[in-house]
Each structure stands twice: as C-alpha cells, then as structure tokens.
Amino acid sequence: MEILGRPLTPEPEDILDLKGLKCPLPVLKSRKRLSGMAVGSRLIVETTDPLAIIDIPHFCREDGYILLSSEASATGHRFVIGKPDQMPAR
C-alpha cells in the first residue's frame, strides 16, 4: 500500500495513551515510541492536550511520519500515525 507516495505496509497497531499529559510530552513520547517500532507500523495516540491538534501533525511533517487520521474523541483527540518504510535523512 502507498499513502502520499510513501510505502506503508500493514503491521500491527500500537496504542499510546497520553491522556492527562501536556505539551511537549505527547510529541516526545510519540517520537520515542515510533523510533522503536518496525517500519510500516501504525501508532494510535490518544491525548487530552488541546495543543496536540497542532503539535502532532507538525511533528509528523517534520520527522517524516505519516498522519493517517486525526479525530476528536469523547475524551480528547485520537491520532493514527504511520511509520513509512523509508524514513527521510535527518
């Protein structure tokens, strides 16, 4: 499968519950978890931080991850982030 020109293979999803944490912790913890995940994996991030709707998409663009979805939930916000098969050089 290819999303936005980047390969993404179906892999198991991992859920990261970051409810109650404030900026910058949701981004820092998401970055750390994604760095240890296999390429093609998806990370579901759940957060109550109102700034996450700005911070998480920006983090994905800057670090080369794929923001697959972003939606409000009853308890905050839920993001699905994909780790592409090829990460950009930093």
Q: Of 68, 67, 25, which Cα lies nearest the Cα of 49?
A: 25
Can 60 be counted among the known catalytic residues? Answer: no
Q: Of 61, 28, 62, 36, which Cα lies nearest the Cα of 45?
A: 28
Choosing from 7, 9, 21, 23, which is the catalytic residue? 23
Distance in angstroms (rounded) separating the CA atoms of residues 26 and 42: 16
Task: Kindly list the catalytic residues.
Answer: 23
